[in-house]
Amino acid sequence: MMNKGETMNFDEYFLMDEQAVSAYIKYKTTLFETDDLTVTEIGDGNLNYVFRVSDGERSVIVKHSGHTARISDEFVLSTDRTIREGHLIQAHSRYVPDLVPDIILIDPVMKCVIMEDLKDYTILRTALQDGQLFPFLGEELGRYLAETLIRTSDFIMPAKEKKALQKEMINPELCEITEDLVYTEPFYNNFNRNELSEDLAAVVDRIVYQDSALKAAVAQAKLKFLNKAESLIHGDLHSGSIFINKSGLKVIDPEFGFFGPAGYDLGNIIAHLFFAHTHASSSGRVEQALWIERTLDEVLRTFRSQALSILQRETIDVALRDASIIAGFINEIEKDAYIVAGLEIIRRIVWIAKVSDITSLEDDRTRAETQLLRFAVFLIKYPEQVRAYSSLFTLLDSSKESVA
């Protein structure tokens, strides 16, 4: 492949390996003064190829798309997904430049993006499982959500600008994956991909598969996902797509992003903080579990206060400046987020894309999964009742058999 790339000057797409990426970097950029580069494929995701290119001192990341997902050749995808991801990061960087990686080059021919290497950061999920605490996490996540979701909404972004960006960010293949794997398969197991232990299978059958009211609520949520183009969302905002260190965080991998319901990103954050809390509690880390509870409160509080501030000061459409319209918009985002949190919890427990926060549990796993499933069902079916509880963790504690 390297020879093909060299003779064609990378003016026609092909799937690159490490050798080709080395030649590509030398041909396309002046990032490195030496030709002695080390290229390592470090991707651990399901979709794309991720290469680290280094001269021993400086390094960058090259993210590259193939015609199929890495997880399975069944998923045939447009190679433009990496290009769209790069443009989405650039769009969000207008509002939170410190919370996303720097984009160095977007190449629509070779279907790759060169970006900042976050080698000094750790994946948030890994850090939390190691017992680490980050005092700024809640406020920074709340700020990221408020800035990206509110400023790309019709309240703030001019209509023509939003529609042009919406056209650029249309993402049918990856949206279809979400539509199937979040909103359908966990509740119907129509392709027999749900993976359950014998102990959990009976629980899922009773409180998920046989609950017609739950399925109706999920169907309503799916219609919102299909039709509600509120904000430019990340689309897969979990603790594996956040890099963190003691000085800050970076949000990565928005390959599932598009203009969708604003509550989707907030709901994913809620769900994965509950997974982290479950892991901390089951590991006997009481202090960390309490900190995660405070962190979630800070996410919700910061999102609401900063969203309200942006909307009150900067709403461009005089017809949308009414205080009740603004409050209703924020309330609807939060309501949708509770539903999405429930959906994300169920699909990560029932379907094959599980999270190590839960799979690494031993004696407590089935008990923890059962409690989380009951909690998730309540969130989906009764999101309006969530505010009756002092916190979401109070609701988790009250998730008894009768809830489902």
Q: What is the DSSP letter of 62?
A: E
Q: For the residues 315-339, what does the mean pLDDT come to? A: 97
What is the pLDDT, as a whole number, of residue 219? 98
Q: What is the pLDDT of residues 155-175, one digit of tens each?
A: 999 999 999 999 999 999 999
Has residue 5 got a pLDDT over 90?
A: no
Q: What are the backbone angles phi and psi of residue 113, rounded to the nearest 5°?
A: -130, 135
Has residue 403 got a pLDDT over 50?
A: no
Strand partners, 233: 258
Instruction: Name the nearest CA neighbour of 107 among 12, 20, 187, 171.
Output: 12
Has residue 299 got a pLDDT over 80?
A: yes
Cα angle: 236, vertex 260, 163; to 5 degrees: 130
Q: Sketch out the chain's domains with CATH numbers.
A: 2-116 (3.30.200.20), 122-403 (3.90.1200.10)
Q: What is the pLDDT of residues 101-145, one digit of tens each?
A: 999 999 999 999 999 999 999 999 999 999 999 999 999 999 999
Has residue 37 got a pLDDT over 80?
A: yes
344, 182 in Cβ contact below 8 A? yes
State the chain's mean pLDDT as an integer.
Answer: 94
The residue type of 162 is K
Q: Retrieve residue 5's tokens.
A: 């790339």
Q: For the residues 20-46, what does the mean pLDDT come to? A: 91
Has residue 65 got a pLDDT over 60?
A: yes
C-alpha distance from residue 371 to each of 8, 15, 32, 204 (Å): 57, 44, 52, 11
Sign of CA dihedral 13, 5, 115, 31: negative
* Neighbour order of strands in the sheet with 122-123: 122-123, 242-245, 248-251
Q: What is the pLDDT of residues 338-358, one digit of tens each?
A: 999 999 999 999 998 999 999
pTM: 0.94
The residue type of 165 is L
How far is residue 308 CA from its own chain's centroid?
A: 23
Q: What is the pLDDT of residues 389-400, one digit of tens each?
A: 999 999 999 875
Q: How far apart are CA 294 and CA 308, in angstroms?
A: 21
Strand partners, 50: 63
Strand, coil or helix: 39: strand
Q: For the residues 293-317, what does the mean pLDDT come to? A: 98
At 78, the pLDDT band (50, 70, 90 cuts) reads confident
What is the pLDDT, as a whole number, of residue 46? 67
Q: For the residues 192-211, what does the mean pLDDT come to? A: 94
Residue with tokens 């798309």: 65
Element (H, E) at 221: helix 212-227
Cα angle: 80, vertex 81, 85; to 5 degrees: 120
What is the pLDDT, as a whole number, of residue 71? 62
Q: What is the DSSP letter of 188?
A: H
Q: For the residues 276-291, what does the mean pLDDT come to? A: 97
DSSP strands (E only) in 191-296? 231-233, 242-245, 248-251, 258-260
What Rg, from alpha-carbon coordinates, does the chain have?
Answer: 22
How far is residue 285 CA from its own chain's centroid?
A: 26
Q: For the residues 244-251, what does the mean pLDDT come to? A: 97
**Parallel, antiparallel or unpaired: strands 122-123 and 231-233:** unpaired
Strand partners, 138: none
Has residue 217 got a pLDDT over 70?
A: yes
What is the pLDDT, as a whole number, of residue 145? 98
What is the pLDDT, as a whole number, of residue 364? 87
Q: For the residues 81-88, what does the mean pLDDT come to? A: 96
276 or 362, which is more confident?
276
Q: For the residues 85-97, what does the mean pLDDT come to? A: 98
Has residue 378 got a pLDDT over 50?
A: yes
